[in-house]
Amino acid sequence: MAIAWTDTIKQSHHLTYFLNSVTEPWLSAAQDAVREFNALSRRYQLGVTYVETGDAPTDTGGASIGIATASGTATFAYAGSHRTTVNGTGLTGSTLLISTPGGPIEKAFMFLPSRPLINTPRGQRAAGAGVMKVIAFHELIHGCGLHNRDHTPDDVFNGFPTADGGSRPSQDRIEIMVRGQYRFMPPILLSATTVGKIVPLWR
């Protein structure tokens, strides 16, 4: 079930994020995903945009969300120690929303797969920038307050993406099935269902 952020963050309508040692090609992919998220947020009036900060998240302040790459076990500290597991060559990341039982979200930690791979007729290779942007955009939606059980099948928030490898990385796409037809991203697909899950969290 979706959960809202603290009132202070909700009222600001901003989620600040800190890129923790994120390097290329993830740096460009993540920044592109943020730009596209913010543009679509304005178009669909989601009520929240992402803003980068140089302040790492801490128990007493800093960014709302820490973003890093990971492969295997990833750990972070906020009001104690936490861990998650990321398939470093997969097409999905992991975003943990930290809150007290029954309370609002206080911090979130987002981990992107360190080196997502796709299968092609010529063998396995690193995914292109477009696929990486789609992965990052999906995790930005989680950052708004949505859990895995809130996944939507017909857009970027699909929980089981597959890759369609191009003849070169720049042509790689994420493939999903929408009403019996294959759809491809990029460009990002954002459905009314996902919009309807985000908007109430930021009113």
Q: What pLDDT is attached to residue 53? A: 98
Tokens 């037809």 locate to 181
pLDDT at residue 1, as a whole number: 81
179 vs 54: CA distance, rounded Å: 42
Ranges of beta strands (E only) in the chain are: 14-19, 49-52, 65-70, 72-77, 81-86, 94-99, 105-113, 117-120, 123-126, 162-164, 173-178, 181-185
Is 7-150 a CATH 3.40.390 domain? yes
pLDDT of 114: 98
What pLDDT is attached to residue 28?
98
Q: What ranges do the domains of the chain cover?
A: 7-150
pLDDT at residue 121, as a whole number: 87
Asked whether 181 and 172 are in contact (CB, 8 A), the reply is no
Q: Is the entire prediction scored with pTM above 0.85? A: yes
In the numeric block, the tokens 């009222």 are attached to 11
Beta bridge partners of 16: 51
Report the 10 Å Cβ neighbour count for 162.
14
Q: What is the pLDDT along the chain (203 residues), one digit of tens a residue?
A: 899 999 999 999 999 999 999 999 999 999 999 999 999 999 999 999 999 999 999 999 999 999 999 999 999 999 899 999 999 999 999 999 999 899 999 999 999 999 999 998 889 999 999 999 999 999 999 999 999 999 999 999 999 999 999 999 999 999 999 989 999 999 999 999 999 999 999 99
